[in-house]
Amino acid sequence: MNPDEQAAAAVLTSYQDALNASSTDMVMKLYAPTGILMAQHYPSSVGTAALRQAYDTIFNTLTLKVKFTIEECNQVAPEWIFARTSSAGTAKLNASGEGGPEANQELFVLQKIEGTWKIARYCFCTTNPPRA
């Protein structure tokens, strides 16, 4: 990986840590102001206010303990990188305490803004088999 790709990979590690800490504030520091979250089964969350609301809802609903693996991280322009990851771990419903395996594949588009890599777009879908 080149230095920009290494810096983007560090953002992804920080994102993993923010998810595991259930911290909307930590997540928000990683997103571009025009960032977009495209979560499976939900409409896109576009911009800072919508992102904050989405992550507050996620963290109020579940507790995640996940580990990301960077499958590829490619700089395609001076200010743009795409990264493909996979993640695995557990998710626990906060209301009931019930939990189970969590596994996803993810696609990140990162943008360099004023010298700092930020998440511009993030999309994920589960790799767990459908529930019976």
Q: In the beta sheet, which residues pair with residue 36?
A: 46, 121
Distance CA(85)–CA(130), nearest Å, equals 20
- Provide the sign of the torsion angle of the four alpha carbons 10, 93, 49, 85, taken in this order: positive
The residues, ordered by sequence, that sit 6+ positions from 26 with a Cβ below 8 Å of its Cβ are 14, 17, 18
Spell out the per-residue pLDDT of the chain, length 132, in tens: 999 999 999 999 999 999 999 999 999 999 999 999 999 999 999 999 999 999 999 999 999 999 999 999 999 999 999 999 999 999 999 999 999 999 999 999 999 999 999 999 999 999 988 776
Considering the entire predicted model, what is its pTM?
A: 0.95
Q: Under DSSP, is residue 60 helix (H, G, I), strand (E, B) or coil?
A: helix
